[in-house]
Amino acid sequence: MRYLMKQKLFCFGDDFAIKNESGQDVFFVDGKAFSFGDKLSFQDTKGNELAFIRQKLLAWGPTYEITRDGKLIAVVKKHLFTLFRCKFTVDVPGPDDLEAQGSFMDMEYKFERDGRTVAEVSKRWFALNDTYGVDIHDDENDVLILAATVVIDMVCHADTKRH
């Protein structure tokens, strides 16, 4: 499934609208303004929270926890010491961790599990600023990958926030 992600401009907090490939709203990410550390609620179109994203403040490097119903489903962490390329790990309980690598500043990267691509993020499909596509392979956790994409966007573009 391909999703279109657009960061909402002129808002307090980091808000993202997420549409399906038909242009219909499917998810909304509500950034909590004026909070200590980044906190975001990942919601369906009816306002039901599907995941909660929270920045870990006392961590070595950018680290975020993604929870669902109070249960940890993933930790997204930027690798601090890599040669030539930036990498993120999406550490999930069990053996199914994901690794994201590519050009994060250009929003051109892939999520891989055991060397197999499971999702791609790209701006090349769209001409609008702050808009990019996320193409997720079947049988993957769309909410998890989209939430991790939001984290990567916040970490890599923190200095360009317009809020």
CATH number at residue 104: 2.40.160.200
Domain range for 11 is: 2-160
How do residues 110-138 score in pLDDT, each as one tens digit?
Answer: 999 999 999 999 987 665 566 789 999 99
Whole-number Å distance between alpha carbons of 74 and 65: 6
Residue 10 confidence (pLDDT): 40
What is the domain count for the chain? 1
Residue 67 confidence (pLDDT): 96
Reported as a pLDDT band with limits 50, 70 and 90, residue 162 is very low
Cβ pair 18, 146 in contact under 8 A = yes
pTM of the model: 0.86
How do residues 7-50 score in pLDDT, each as one tens digit?
Answer: 654 444 567 889 998 889 999 998 875 555 688 999 999 999 99
How do residues 139-150 score in pLDDT, each as one tens digit?
Answer: 999 999 999 999
Q: Are strands 25-31 and 131-136 parallel, antiparallel or unpaired?
A: unpaired
Q: Is 135 helix (H, G, I), strand (E, B) or coil?
A: strand
